[in-house]
Amino acid sequence: MTPWLDRLRSRTAAFVHDLVMVPAAWFLAFWTRFNLERIPPDYFSMALHMLPVVVLLAGLMYWAFGLYRGVWRFASLPDLVRILKAVAATTLAVVVVLFVINRSEHLPRSVPPLFFVFQLLLLAGPRLLYRWLKDHRLSLGSGTRVLIVGAGRAGEMLVRDMRRAGARRYEPVAFVDDKLRRHGAEIHGVPIRGGTELIPRLTQELGIDLILLAIPSASAAEMGDLVRLCERTGKPFRTVPKLENLMTGQVSISQLRPVSIEDLLGRNPVTLDWDGLRAGLAGRVVLVTGAGGSIGSELCRQVVAARPRRLLLLDNCEFNLYRIEQEFAERADAPDLGRYLLDVGDRTGVDALFARERPQIVFHAAAYKHVPLLEDQVRAAVRNNVLGTGVVADSAHRHRCERFVLISTDKAVNPANVMGASKRAAEILCQGLAVQSPTRFITVRFGNVLGSAGSVVPLFQRQIERGGPVTVTDPDVERYFMTIPEACQLIMQAAVIGAGGEIFVLDMGEPVKISRMAEQMIRLAGREPGRDIAIEYIGLRPGEKRFEELFYDAESLTATVHPKIRIARRLATDADAVAAWRADLADCIQRCDIDALAERLREIVPQWQPAGTHYRAGAPEPSHV
């Protein structure tokens, strides 16, 4: 049978059911009026003769008020409201029509309200009973027994979705919730047994197979506490997405996922001034260098939400550029795209791009960033991170771009490695250009991002999958972390509020011990640190510090209009001095004089003090870069 005929059959069956209920309600009203005894002949005769009129009026009203738009299987409050309106209108119409026909002779005053009540019961009752039987059919078997943490809206939607499942798979057994007023209540027949501290005990007492964390608004600290309680049970646990990721606002079983390290290290959602962002980026030509990298690609995704007129993708890695171009080619909301397979150090190519495309906003994310690798690759680091930045910045200045945003790093503060020193030199270079350029040169400085290429999270995941050991350089090493989307959103916000010459420092929250992160990731994989998977400390690597910093002592921090962005103010940079050392670095690179290059870089960044190295030769793959 076709879907159209199936729908017609269902609606017809529902309509016939309701018409059959009308005579029942009509005669029940009279019978109740006469104390459930015999209805007097005159009254019964009138009721019988007027029955066709009553059924006709009821049928017209029921159809007019849309009683057959809904599906009985999913009968809900809106359906009940429609029934209430329909039976009220039917009752009123019957009273008016009978008054016109026979002046309401032999129609007791109590019959209309009784008719209203019986209509409501006979129409709404079967619908709700049908839904209840369908929803609870699953509870007659023995599926996965589920404990739901959180008796709020998300928990209620999960239970409802379980009840609706076509095959018996999940059986919600109990809720736990820390709000005292909810204790002892029920949601869809599932009791709320108490607070979250009962998770281990209830899991054992009720034979729970799976724990679902239904608190999308939970902070990282709250999620960490819940994870520790769940880990004590030895049972698998899943969580619903964060509030900001619930695009439809609905929660279902299909959206459940394992708890990730981002859930435990993340912060409260970033609130952006989207009006300001759109005003600054909408309708403009935006260039992102390093567009295929972790930060660059996410920055492109975030920029698209601000509706630029054209988005230019620049990267020197063919595969990364192809991948991000294909991603946008499949999106309906993608802007006009341009892609360039280009090295930022190629002055001729970069300047030709600017002359052709005339970008108005530049996000410079292209950089070499792997700390240990760059320690003996000074020439490559300086050529790409310093002189490459200079090439793109010069073109932005020459072609009068509105804004140039350099994406820097906390490793540029009192650098202990070549990567940090090269990024600090790039910061100074942009500040020097800001002195004499109509282009607003803005620097954004932040720490590590979770899940970026070469970061600690994917490395730990690979090591855990191999069975360990998980390698950590030092038990005291701490790092600042934020998620890639959060970092990119704040970069965009800084780009809009920057006036030029500033170094914006993103609020990274509290630093996280890498050893603690390793333990959490092992537990999230269902293993026990030290028992199932070993953690091995291999010593600090070349160029690595135990603790990272976000600003220099000489930089005075001031607040901005955004609570998670601050400005690190410094003394003005000498543009002529910057031009001179740029020429010196270019000469050293041209001559391939590594010693002279390193010495000149040390003069430019006198704070560069290589950290002590304790990296053991032949040790397993180090853990964070």
Cβ-based neighbours of 11, under 8 Å, separated by 6 or more: 68
Q: How far from 525 is each of 265, 289, 487, 516, 591, CA to CA, in Å?
A: 16, 36, 26, 14, 51
CA distance 48 to 30: 11
CA distance 289 to 340: 9
Map tokens 């709000």 to a residue. 179
Least confident piece of the model among 74-78, 109-113, 216-220, 430-434: 74-78
Residues 151-158 have a mean pLDDT of: 84
The pTM score is 0.62
CA distance 262 to 115: 59
φ, ψ of residue 209 to 5 degrees: the values are -100, -25
Mean pLDDT of the chain: 80
Q: How far from 44 is each of 52, 59, 90, 105, CA to CA, in Å?
A: 14, 22, 20, 12
Q: What is the pLDDT of residue 614?
A: 34
CA distance 196 to 188: 20
Domains of the chain: 3-136 (no CATH), 141-259 (3.40.50.720), 281-450+481-507+553-604 (3.40.50.720)
Which one-letter DSSP state was computed for residue 307?
Answer: -
Whether 355 has a pLDDT exceeding 80, the answer reads yes
Least confident piece of the model among 90-94, 184-188, 290-294, 337-341: 184-188
Q: What is the pLDDT of residue 384?
A: 95
Q: What is the pLDDT of residue 619?
A: 35
Residues 598-623 have a mean pLDDT of: 62
Per-residue pLDDT of 293-314, as tens digits, reads 888 998 898 888 888 999 999 9
Per-residue pLDDT of 194-219, as tens digits, reads 898 999 999 988 888 888 888 877 77
Residues 576-594 have a mean pLDDT of: 92
Task: Strand 503-506: give its sheet, edge to edge.
Answer: 336-341, 310-315, 285-289, 361-364, 403-409, 440-446, 503-506, 565-569, 556-559
Pairing state of beta strands 503-506 and 565-569?
antiparallel
Q: What is the pLDDT of residue 288?
A: 95
Q: Give DSSP secondary structure letters for 235-296.
A: S-EEEPPPGGG-TTS---GGG-B---HHHHH--SPPP--HHHHHHHHTTSEEEEETTTSHHH
Residue with more model confidence, 174 or 267: 174
Determine the angle formed by the axes of helices 111-136 and 153-164, rounding to 10 degrees. 80
Cβ-based neighbours of 331, under 8 Å, separated by 6 or more: 304
Q: What is the pLDDT of residue 40?
A: 87
CA distance 287 to 365: 10
Q: How far from 394 is each of 389, 399, 519, 574, CA to CA, in Å?
A: 8, 9, 46, 16
Strand, helix or coil for residue 456: helix
Least confident piece of the model among 57-66, 464-473, 569-578: 569-578
Per-residue pLDDT of 405-461, as tens digits, reads 999 988 888 888 999 999 999 999 998 898 888 999 988 887 776 655 556 777 787
Identity (one letter) of the amino acid at 390?
G
Residue with more model confidence, 326 or 189: 326
Q: What is the pLDDT of residue 295?
A: 87
Residue with more model confidence, 561 or 131: 561
CA distance 125 to 302: 50
CA distance 515 to 576: 45
The answer to whether the CB of 529 falls within 8 A of the CB of 520 is: no
Q: What is the pLDDT of residue 350?
A: 95
Per-residue pLDDT of 365-410, as tens digits, reads 999 988 888 988 999 999 999 999 999 999 999 999 999 999 998 8
Identity (one letter) of the amino acid at 431?
Q
